[in-house]
């Protein structure tokens, strides 16, 4: 018999808008699995590898902007969720993590599949809840329902994030044959109403007074989802007020009015002397560009950061004001209250950006074949109405070098790990019919190969794999690249090819080693398909290092000429 507090939990999830659940097989979690699988309003999928399952759920919740639930059995299964939970915490993505557990009297008693699961995720979770050890009274059932409501509300509350409910379960786990699950028609639900954070008139008056002494405003959008209304306000600030907007690829606020090629010159002291702002205004989450961070940390500018919960994020070591509001109303106000800015400051930034935008394609086409120019050719074929997932390490850095994109760019920059890139992209494919392109290096790709170990179609998935047979980023970093231990202890030499994986999972596959093969493979890469497609671009890590240095040198020469 399925316990009533479990059917209550599932009914509450459905009533509060949770429509998607990723299950991982296990016996202790059977009551949860069966209840979710049998509820008519909930769509369940199964992924056997819990680490991959959690990133798949993250990829879905990232796009849906609503909680996705995870269900696993007791023991180390819960620990395999941890990387994705940390990523969700720092990216502010809502997950409802439901872990089955042994009853507390059997923890640390040499019973099977037991660990200390209560609060197992430490500081990387918005909240941890523990269900009653058993349901022996109406108050126990009430408590379980209350915890279910609290957990879901907390996952949704700004900033959104993962919430853990640990659920001790005793045998029997399975209903009798022909036994029906009865879900309460009207489960007890209480709703948390979000309050809008609005700056007071007094605060706005102080800000307006401070703006009177500012002539060089620099706006930095951190990692965000696209927002057309906010994009319009930012574009107006650039057009009408000469405000400079510097947008990494993961900001999703790149346009003709923003700066997107800054990684090519920031750090060059001869070029950046006239680029220093009076005021930095930032919003969103992290940025990729190390050059931008280092540049801004050396300035004397004030820094205002917009964040609804009012928590300090002093990325540039210049923080002077925290604005507890949302970006859209603030930038609408700024458009109406900011005076015209220094036109020369605006022009200096845009002249550099335009020069790189003009020179970079010519420079890349002049180089030998490598992953840098191969990726340039490949992303120019990505459909405009699609999404691009980018793995960490060199893949996301190349994307930032290559400038502005019109597609939504998604990357796991909460913790910047390589461990769940494939799985996050797979989760994204479950939420859209648009093409989802995963751009990844070989280390991230092969590390997360279990992302494809499930039974669900992904006809809209395209994978561009940059295989240099090692951790090529360490050749690009000055520290490890200068060490004699580079090849043995930093690079991970491997001889793997994606061809075998493609055969196992029934993916279409092509491998290229030169430009003509690449152009041929790209011709039908984005045509409709019943199965995912992998385009493997094989290159040499030392050669890629040479190309990157040569491109930097040529761009620097072009900028120096003016």
The tens digit of pLDDT for each residue in 173-187 reads: 777 777 788 899 889
Does residue 475 carry a pLDDT above 70?
no
Q: How far apart are CA 104 and CA 453, in angstroms?
A: 33
Q: How far apart are CA 131 and CA 524, in angstroms?
A: 52
Task: Give mean pLDDT, residues 309-323.
Answer: 92
Q: How far apart are CA 324 and CA 311, in angstroms?
A: 8
- For the chain, the domains span 4-168, 201-354, 366-561
* CATH class, 366-561 region: alpha beta
Whether residue 474 contacts residue 481, with contact meaning beta carbons closer than 8 Å, is answered with yes
Quick: pLDDT tens for 238-279: 999 999 999 999 999 999 999 999 999 997 777 787 899 999
Q: How far apart are CA 445 and CA 59, in angstroms?
A: 16
Backbone angles phi, psi at 216, to 5 degrees: -135, 90
Task: Give mean pLDDT, residues 437-447.
Answer: 96
Cis, bond preceding 364 (omega within 30 deg of 0): no
Does residue 134 carry a pLDDT above 90?
no
Q: How confident is the model at residue 51 (pLDDT cuts 50, 70, 90)?
A: very high
Residue 274: per-residue pLDDT: 86
3-state secondary structure of 437: strand
* Overall fold of domain 4-168: Rossmann fold (3.40.50)
Residue 484: per-residue pLDDT: 65
Q: How far apart are CA 158 and CA 234, in angstroms?
A: 23
Does residue 295 carry a pLDDT above 80?
yes
As a whole-number percent, the residues of the chain with pLDDT over 90 amount to 83
Residue 387: beta bridge partners? 408, 436
H-assigned helices in 242-286: 269-272
Locate 229 and state its tokens. 């209304």
Quick: pLDDT tens for 318-341: 999 999 999 999 999 999 999 999
Q: DSSP of 488-534, one letter per residue?
A: IIIS------HHHHHHHHT-EEEEESSHHHHHHHHTTTTS--SS-EE
* Overall fold of domain 201-354: Rossmann fold (3.40.50)
Q: Same fold for the domain at 4-168 and the one at 201-354? A: yes
Task: Give mean pLDDT, residues 125-135.
Answer: 94
Task: Give mean pLDDT, residues 349-353.
Answer: 96
Whether residue 4 contacts residue 12, with contact meaning beta carbons closer than 8 Å, is answered with no
Within 10 A of 240 (CB to CB), how many other CB atoms are there? 12
């Amino acid at each position: 018999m399925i316990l009533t507090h479990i059917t209550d939990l599932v009914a509450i999830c459905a009533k509060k808008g949770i429509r998607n659940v990723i299950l991982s097989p296990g016996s202790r979690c059977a009551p949860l699995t069966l209840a979710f699988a049998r509820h008519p309003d909930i769509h369940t999928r199964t992924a056997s590898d819990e680490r991959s399952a959690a990133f798949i759920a993250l990829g879905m919740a990232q796009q849906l902007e609503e909680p996705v639930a995870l269900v696993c059995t007791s023991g180390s299964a819960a620990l395999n969720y941890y990387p994705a939970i940390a990523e969700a915490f720092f990216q502010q993505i809502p997950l409802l993590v439901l872990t089955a557990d042994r009853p507390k009297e059997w923890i640390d008693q040499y019973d099977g599949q037991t660990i200390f699961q209560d609060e197992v995720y430490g500081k990387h979770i918005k909240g941890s809840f523990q269900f009653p050890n058993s349901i022996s009274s109406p108050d126990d059932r009430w408590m379980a329902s209350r915890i279910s409501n609290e957990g879901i509300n907390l996952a949704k509350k700004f900033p959104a994030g993962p919430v853990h409910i640990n659920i001790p379960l005793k045998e029997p786990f399975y209903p009798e044959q022909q036994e029906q699950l009865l879900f309460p028609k009207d489960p007890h639900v209480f709703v948390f109403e979000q309050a809008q954070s609005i700056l007071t008139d007094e605060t706005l008056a102080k800000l307006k007074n401070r703006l009177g002494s500012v002539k060089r405003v620099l706006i930095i959008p951190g990692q965000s989802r696209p927002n057309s209304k906010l994009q319009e306000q930012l574009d107006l600030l650039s057009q009408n007020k000469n405000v400079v907007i510097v947008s990494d690829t993961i900001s999703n606020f790149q346009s003709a009015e923003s700066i997107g090629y800054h990684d090519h010159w920031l750090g060059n002291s001869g070029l950046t002397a006239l680029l220093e702002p009076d005021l930095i205004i930032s919003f969103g989450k992290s940025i990729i560009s190390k050059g931008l961070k280092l540049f801004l940390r050396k300035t004397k500018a004030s820094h205002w950061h917009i964040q609804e919960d009012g928590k300090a994020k002093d990325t540039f070591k210049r923080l002077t004001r925290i604005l507890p509001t949302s970006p859209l109303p603030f930038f609408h106000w700024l458009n109406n209250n900011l005076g015209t800015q220094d036109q020369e400051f605006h022009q200096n930034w845009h002249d550099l950006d335009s020069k790189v935008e003009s020179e970079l394609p010519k420079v890349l086409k002049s180089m030998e074949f490598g992953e840098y120019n191969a990726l340039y050719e490949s992303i120019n074929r990505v459909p405009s109405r699609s999404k691009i997932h980018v793995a960490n390490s060199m893949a996301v850095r190349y994307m930032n070098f290559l400038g502005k994109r019109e597609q939504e760019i998604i990357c796991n920059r909460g913790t910047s790990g390589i461990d769940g890139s494939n799985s996050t992209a797979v989760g994204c494919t479950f939420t859209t019919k648009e093409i989802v392109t995963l751009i990844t290096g070989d280390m991230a790709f092969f590390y997360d190969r279990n992302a494809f170990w499930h039974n669900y179609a992904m006809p809209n998935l395209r994978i561009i794999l940059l295989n240099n047979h090692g951790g090529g980023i360490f050749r690009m970093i000055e520290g490890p690249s200068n060490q004699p231990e580079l090849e043995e202890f930093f690079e991970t030499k491997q001889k793997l090819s994606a061809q075998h994986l493609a055969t196992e999972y029934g993916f279409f596959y092509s491998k290229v080693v030169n430009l003509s093969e690449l152009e041929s493979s790209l011709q039908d890469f984005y045509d409709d398909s019943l199965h995912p497609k992998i385009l493997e671009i094989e290159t040499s890590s030392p050669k890629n290092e040479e190309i990157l240095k040569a491109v930097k040198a040529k761009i620097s020469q072009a900028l120096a000429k003016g």
